[in-house]
Chain A
Amino acid sequence: MNILVLNCGSSSLKYRLISMPAETELAGGEAQRIGPPTAKPSRIVHHVCGQAPQVHIAPMANHASAFEQVVRILQQTVGRTPDAIGHRIVHDGGLFGAHSRLDDKTIAQLETINDMAPIHNPPAVNLTKACRKLYPTLPQVAVFDTVFHATIPEAARTYAIPGWMSRDLGIRKYGFHGISHQYVATEAARLLKRRMNTLNAVSCHLGSGGASLCAIVNGKSVDNTMGYSPLQGLVMSTRCGDLDPAIALRLMALSEGDYKSVEQLLNERSGVLGLSGQSADIRDALAAVSRGDAHSARPELAAQIYLWRLRKYLGAYLATVGNADAVIFTDTVGETVPAVRWAMCANMEDFGLAIDPALNDHAGRLPTDISAPGSRVRILVIATNEELSIARSAYSLLTSESKPEKKGVAV
């Protein structure tokens, strides 16, 4: 079965055609600058596996027309059309609780929760509608970032607010980055030769934009640093992470009740960018510190706060998990910045965790284990592969549907 995995950004569409269950990637690419015409034309950077990437220029007013172009290019270059589509959708709003087959009913349900992930969900949901219109019979599956966190126990997902607020407004911890956390945890179990349902770990998805830690017990998520929205938790590139609710209130009062401007401030102009005043990339702040720039006081503070929050959450989740088998690092920062891994894992011997400085500095080919000899907890660096994770989930759902006797996956 060839599954086309689609991952919507606000003005981009990443795609990957993967043959399942062999997990062979056939082709992939990214449609860029989707939307109204700009000075630079919208284009698709496409590659067939084993070949150099090609650039296709085409007007793409919206994600639906980008999708049509992608299907056309796939037919031309690979000579195949997909047998199914796996959509990455960030938020299930607690409505589904499992990756789900998309039909008119489920798409309509998804549209009711657009406000819970106003940046991420609407373009993806619109795309599901377009795909269904173009290929009504093609099976489509929604793979959610929140679903891996559906197992977070009530004690960890409940905020201490009046009960009616939680019930009526759906305010609870949902957790995000689940597709990636699930993928690297599965890989870690494989590397450690353990069954997934016996794996205890802390997974650190440290992206160049968003980042979250996930506590995993018996292969299931039991906590995530992100909460009701992706704003909570770690200091991120432009997001503030944890904040005294009274500060949000104070900012709201200062802006005379204009909560949208506060939302924008906390999501887009805070985090590493707000602290350093220069760059949203933690790697720039770390580089300024190691160069000892004369004007590095603010970047240095940004780096310190970023690293300190990470270290504290690692400790919090090692305590939550109990005796973890592994700490897993993944995504851009987690895979490529040794200084971040070091700041988190050095001097953590009391947790049964010891990092090897040389292995950390030269992680090389992934996956790899950078723990010191004698460290009971393994420290693994694993390249995430969200597209493959989506293809696996979609394949598992579609094949279990066709075998009614196997009731392992909820629809």
Chain B
Amino acid sequence: MNILVLKPGVRSIDWSLTGDGTRHTRAGQMDAAHIDRNLQALRGALADAPPETIAVRVNHGGTKFRGPAIADASSLAALTELVPEAPLHLPVVLSLLESGSRVFQNVPTILFFETAFFSRLPRRESAYGIDSDLAQSLGLRRQGYHGIYHEAASAHAIRQLGIPPRRARVLSICLEPHPEIAAVLGNRPVTCTSGATPLEGLPGHTSCGELDPNIVLTLARKLGWGPEQINTALTQRSGLLGLAGCPVMLDDLFAAEAADLAPARAVLENRILSACGAGMAAMGGVDTLVFSGRFHTAAKALGPWLSTRLTFRGGNERHPPRWIGFEEPLDRVIAERAQIVLLESATA
């Protein structure tokens, strides 16, 4: 079956076509500004292998979407209501779905949400230490932003373990430009490093990760900066870029020859180790670590190191945590899940 996977961002939309038994047959990117025209061009380009299903990756589904959803009138209405929670991303998604239904008429479209896996995050993990009424009125809760990877990678890791899935304790380490670690206890996430936005948690390529909240206020006080200026500095000029002073990608950071990147690497390793220790405490231990994401190859350096650091004398030393890589690209994960969803909806 030909499945067209669409991953809308703020300014552009990535697409790929996955066919039977093959890896990506074709892939590309289109501008988000002229969606209708660009989709028509795409339909023309794919005339020899017309998509039979469309799968759309959506960054934010709040608490409304707890799993994949078929794009129809009710899911679109629900998505429209969520626009205030993700005002940059969701309008692009909605335009894409609208154009898509015209250009690819009668092709079933399935929505996959990065946040769905985290909609069942326990409240003790998702809530912040602030006034609960205020948090509720502003919708401030912790969630993850790489749920599709975490769900697939942890399920893969659990299958490899050969223990009852309900008891499996997995640390899922997603190595993307915004890296994210989740502790997954029997298919359910119990911790996540990201926060109400992807700004919290581990430092990313350009995002700062965890900060003393007072630092934000100090920047306002000492520099006279407003929220937008601070936001730009923390989301676009921080992280590995801020630490190293030049653009750095995760796989370069963990490459053996990157001696000049040692200080930035040490910062990230320190945060990763802390997050893993926290996740291990949340689950009462860890059976396996699984690395996913486009920089999963960094697992070669991180896997053995973390496995050693998470082994404790007089504790789990007889069963130290294993580590594995989950090498599937996101499009492939989404395409495979789309087939399952279609199958399930056909038999339901």
- B-contacting residues of A (Cβ < 8 Å)? 153-156, 158-163, 165, 169, 171, 173, 223, 226-229, 231-232, 235-236, 239-250, 252-253, 257, 259, 262-263, 265-266, 269-272, 274-275, 277, 298, 301, 304-309, 311-320, 322-323, 347-353, 375-377
Contact = CB atoms under 8 A, between A and B. Distances in A.
A160 B130 CA distance: 24
Contacts of B226: 257
B281 A266 contact: no
B103 interface: no
A319 B309 contact: yes
Contact of B128 (A226, A232, A243, A307): A243
Contact of B129 (A159, A309, A318): A309
A231 B210 CA distance: 13
A309 B142 CA distance: 13
B237 interface: yes
Interface stretch (B28-36, B89-97, B265-273): B265-273
A48 B207 CA distance: 56
25 contacts: A153-B266, A154-B266, A155-B263, A160-B203, A160-B239, A169-B218, A228-B212, A232-B214, A240-B128, A240-B213, A244-B142, A246-B196, A248-B213, A250-B138, A252-B216, A257-B220, A257-B227, A263-B214, A274-B134, A275-B132, A308-B282, A319-B277, A350-B316, A351-B312, A352-B313
B200 A319 contact: no
Interface in B34-67: none
B179 to A, nearest CB: 11
A162 B237 contact: yes
B238 interface: yes
Contact of B215 (A161, A226, A246, A252): A161
By secondary structure, the B interface counts as helix
Nearest to B272: A319
A262 B217 contact: yes
B166 interface: no
A351 B315 contact: yes
Contact of B314 (A248, A271, A377): A377
B213 A319 contact: no
A315 B280 contact: yes
Given A160-B243, A165-B219, A247-B195, 5 more contacts: A155-B270, A158-B263, A241-B129, A245-B216, A376-B313
A305 B217 contact: no
**Which of B123, B200, B230, B277 has its CB near the most chain A CB atoms (within 10 A)?**
B277
Contacts of B208: 159-161, 245
A316 to B, nearest CB: 4
A163 B212 contact: no
B315 A350 contact: yes
B227 A252 contact: yes
Contacts of B281: 311-312, 314-316, 318, 348, 351
B286 interface: yes
Contacts of B195: 243-244, 246-247
A377 B316 CA distance: 13
B242 A266 contact: no
A277 B132 contact: yes
A160 B238 contact: yes
Contacts of A154: 263, 266
A241 B212 CA distance: 8
Contact of B216 (A240, A248, A323, A375): A248
B240 interface: yes
Interface of B: 123-125, 127-134, 138, 140, 142, 191, 195-197, 199-200, 203, 207-223, 226-227, 230-231, 233-234, 237-240, 242-243, 245, 263, 266-267, 269-270, 273-282, 284-286, 309-310, 312-316
Contacts of A242: 128-129, 200, 210, 213
A312 to B, nearest CB: 4
Contact of A323 (B123, B263, B267, B312): B312
Contacts of B216: 245, 248-249, 252
Nearest to A349: B315
B243 A320 contact: no
Nearest to A344: B281
B139 to A, nearest CB: 10
A137 to B, nearest CB: 39
Q: Which 7 A-B pairs have the closest CB atoms?
A: A315-B281, A319-B277, A376-B314, A244-B195, A160-B203, A350-B285, A352-B315
A99 B122 CA distance: 44
Contacts of B207: 160
Interface centre among B138, B231, B238, B314 (most CB of A within 10 A): B314
A159 B273 contact: no
B127 to A, nearest CB: 5
Nearest to B210: A242
A29 B144 CA distance: 51
B146 to A, nearest CB: 16
Contacts of B127: 275, 301, 305
Contact of B313 (A162, A163, A228, A323): A323
Given A245-B200, A320-B274, A352-B315, A231 B212 contact: yes
A309 B312 CA distance: 22
A240 B128 CA distance: 7
A243 B216 CA distance: 11
A100 B199 CA distance: 39
A270 B273 CA distance: 28
A153 to B, nearest CB: 8
Contacts of A309: 129
A145 B328 CA distance: 49
A298 B132 contact: yes
Contacts of A317: 274, 277
A160 B133 contact: no
Contact of B309 (A156, A304, A322, A349): A322
A275 B129 contact: yes
A274 B132 contact: yes
B208 to A, nearest CB: 5
Q: Of B125, B213, B231, B279, which is in contact with the most chain A CB atoms at under 10 Å from its CB?
A: B213
Contacts of A160: 203, 207-209, 238-240, 242-243, 267
Contact of B131 (A232, A241, A275, A313): A275
Contact of B199 (A232, A244, A263, A349): A244
A246 B131 contact: no
A308 B239 contact: no
Contact of B132 (A156, A165, A171, A301): A301
A249 B212 CA distance: 12
Contacts of A312: 191, 278-279, 281-282
Contacts of A323: 312-313
Nearest to A235: B129
Contacts of B266: 153-155
A243 B245 CA distance: 26
Contact of A245 (B123, B234, B284): B234
Contacts of B280: 315, 319, 350-351
